[in-house]
Structure 1
Amino acid sequence: MFKYLNTHNSAGLVKKIANDVDLGTNDDNSNSSNTTKIAGDRGLDNAPEEMLGTWYSYDNHEKATVTFTDHTIEETENGHTVTTELHKMKPDRDRGEDKAYWAKTKHRATISKFKMPESKPKDNKLYYNIYGWNETAGDGEFYAVHTEEGQPVLISAGGVGVWTDAVYWKTPELAQKYAGKKFHDLHYREMN
């Protein structure tokens, strides 16, 4: 395909194809009909089914929750709640300097699948990277469903090393029981 495009001087076609690419999970159940008039918006994207619901964690005796719905992530910590709406977007959209655009999109993010590089073979979890719509630096937030102590858990991780920040459980009781516990199969920042 590339040979054909190169020999037929098809830079315009390549640009058109690139504009049609969606950043998102590309799941069959994505709801692209819910687009807005905001530049670059390709419609709502879906949270992974295995992450849906509310997950609980305790840190320093404070309860934190993460709730995934079909199209949002709601994070509550220290009494502060932030809700982020998941959207597919054009990768080459122009963020510009328009303050109104930034205000309309500040609680939006994209979600995409992320597999750890082969250089970290011990970590074979499938992460989902939540990346802010207007984020220009950083790696976003990573989530993965995993099993600890025979229970499903939601791992929250961040940074270039995809370091575990928190482990969320399906019930507040399990979260409190395992509060502060470090699991040997998870990669924590302080392990470096």
Structure 2
Amino acid sequence: MFLSSGAIRINLEKANLDIEWMPVSQLKSESVQRARNILAKLKTDIEHKDQLKLLIQQRNIDDMSDEQAEFKILLESICQLTNEYYGVIPLQGYGSEKLSMIDTVESVRAHAQKLDDILELELSYKILLAAQANLSRMSPLDYLYKSINCQLEALNPDDIDSQFILRYIRASAPPNTKVEQILKISRANDDERFNERNVGNRYLLWH
């Protein structure tokens, strides 16, 4: 669960955030959104840069002075945007090491995933902080449960849904797999939203 201390530690490692430069308490969703905007600009520049590079390689270099000048401008823009990104989201090594340039579409995707992890980290921290602040009137576990705005229901192993899930687990999981508990999770108004979409074919989605 994303609110457990273990999950938070894992997210810190995945996000690779330098908490000396950016303590968890200073994480803001606005900063994450700004970083996303920078990544979007980087992706556009990188794709344009790759197209120009291919064009320059395929044609006579003497006839490509304009393209080469544009290529240089794009490289400078990518360098500037990379520095701007690391200024908004300082990662491990930000203060003392040379960080890698974000100059490929793959690296943009990797950093976009880091931002997802950071956003989840920010949310977890705020909820845990609020639970601590409300200790006098509510159990922390009750507060955390209410904060996720979901209902968790433990299914009986003999229920049809449980048997259906167990059948798939036994057919695909290693022989020694042990199922501790199957939980049914529902969010407020989920059924209404699902029915509004009028989905015909339904498939199991495994996490």
Q: TM-score range by the shorter chain?
A: under 0.3
Scaled by the length of structure 1, what TM-score is found? 0.22
Scaled by the length of structure 2, what TM-score is found? 0.21
**More strand as a share of residues:** 1
Larger Cα-atom Rg? 2
**More helix as a share of residues:** 2
Larger RCO: 1 or 2 (CA < 8 Å, sep 6+): 2
